[in-house]
Amino acid sequence: MDSFIPEGYKTILGVYDTQKAIGLLKRLFEDNLSAALNIHRVSAPLFVEEHTGLNDNLNGIERPVEFQVRCTGTSAQVVQSLAKWKRMALHRYGFYPGKGLYTDMNAIRRDEDTLDNLHSIYVDQWDWEKVINESDRNLEYLKATVRSIVKAVCDTQSTMQAIYPKLTSLGAINPEVTFVSAQELEDMYPDKTPKERENIITRERGTVFVMGIGGRLLSGNKHDGRSPDYDDWDLNGDILFWNGLLGCAFELSSMGIRVNPESLDRQLTESGCDDRRGLLYHRMLLAGELPLTIGGGIGQSRLSMLLLGKAHIGEVQASVWTEETHRLCEERGVMLL
C-alpha cells in the first residue's frame, strides 16, 4: 500500500514524549524478552565479509549494500539480517541448550520496492537466537516460544500504558495466540492473496502466528519467500497483530526453528541454491558442526508503532521518504523524524 494517514489521526504523544517513550519501551521489552527466553545481549556486526556466506539472502533477490575494504582488499556487505551470524556466534561463544543471545541489528534494504506506513529502507530489529536440543525441533516448542514473545509484548504494553495513561485509548493486545498454517489459510481463502488472508484471520483473532512459510503450497504458490538456509520451512512463521489504526495485519516478527543438515540440504536443492554449499557457514552446517537453534527478528520500529499508536513508521525512525510522503504528512500534521 502507499503511505496514507487515517482520517482524523492525531498522535497520542508529542515528538519529545515519543522519543522518551521509545527509549523506555525498548529497555522494558529487552528485559521482558531476555527473561522470557533466557537470552543475553551481545555485540553484533554492522557488516560482514562477502566470502563468509554469513549475510542473510532474505528472499534471494535483494541486493546487499557492498563496499571494498582498502586495507584487506576484500568485499564487505552491510548485513541484511543476522540470522546466520547469530548461529555462528552461539557456536563460537560456547552457548549450551536453553541459553541464547539477542542483539541490536541495523540494516539497509536498498531494494525495498515500497515505502509506506510500515516499510522503510532502514531496518532496526532485535535479532535473537537460542540453542536447543534435537528433541525441541517440533511445533509445540515453536508455539511455546511464540507465546513467550507475545507475553513479553503484552507485559511491555501494560507497563507503558501505566506510565503513559493516554496510551490506554489503544486498547490491549490479545494475549491469546491463534496458530494457523499457511496451507490452512490457503484452503480457507483460496481466492485471496496471502496478505488478504492474513488480514482476514488477524482482524478476526487479533493475535496470529502463521506457520510454514517458504515452501510451495498445494496451489504451487508460496505464502511468502524465505531464504533456504536459516529457517526450516516446516517449523517457522510470522507473528501478526491486528492494527486497528491502519486496518491491517501488522507483522512484528519473522522467526522459526533453524535448519538442520537434512532440511538445509533439501531446501538448498528445492530453491536452486546449491552453489552456497561451498561457503564456510553452509559447509559447517551440513557437517553438523553448528548447534541446533531457534531464532528470529523483532522489529523495533514496528513495536514502537504498535505500542505508541503511530500511523507511520517515519514517526519512530529516521529514514528516506518520497516527496509525496513528505507532502502528505505535512498536510496532515504528522512529523517524520
The chain-wide mean pLDDT, for the chain, equals 91
Q: Please tell me the distance from the alpha carbon of residue 232 to that of residue 226, in angstroms, as a whole number.
A: 9
Distance CA 125, CA 299 (A): 4
Q: What is the pLDDT of residue 327?
A: 87
- The residues carrying an active-site annotation are 56, 109, 125, 238, 251, 254
For 103, phi then psi, to 5°, come to -155, 165
Q: What is the pTM of this model?
A: 0.91
Nearest to 146 by CA among 290, 71, 254: 254
Dist CA 65 CA 75 (whole Å): 10
**Segments making up each domain of the chain, as ranges:** 15-331
Residue 56 has pLDDT above 80, yes or no: no
Q: Contacts from 173-176 at CB under 8 Å and sequence distance 24+?
A: 173/206, 173/207, 173/241, 173/306, 174/205, 174/206, 174/207, 174/241, 174/242, 175/150, 175/151, 175/207, 176/206, 176/207
Q: Please check the confidence at residue 139 and state whether its pLDDT lies above 60.
A: yes
pLDDT per position as a tens digit, 213-230: 999 999 999 998 888 888
Taking only the tens place, the pLDDT of each residue in 254-290 is: 999 999 999 999 999 998 889 889 888 889 999 999 9
Of 80, 97, 100, which is closest to residue 89 (Cα–Cα)?
100
Name the pLDDT band for 61 (thresholds 50, 70, 90).
low
In which element (H, E) is residue 210 found? strand 207-211
Fold adopted by 15-331: BirA Bifunctional Protein; domain 2 (3.30.930)
Alpha-carbon distance of 304 to 309, in angstroms, equals: 8
Residues 6 or more apart whose CB falls under 8 angstroms from that of 77 comprise 47, 48, 49, 50, 55, 64, 65, 66
Cell numbers found for residue 235: 517449523
pLDDT band at 141 (very low <50, low <70, confident <90, very high): very high
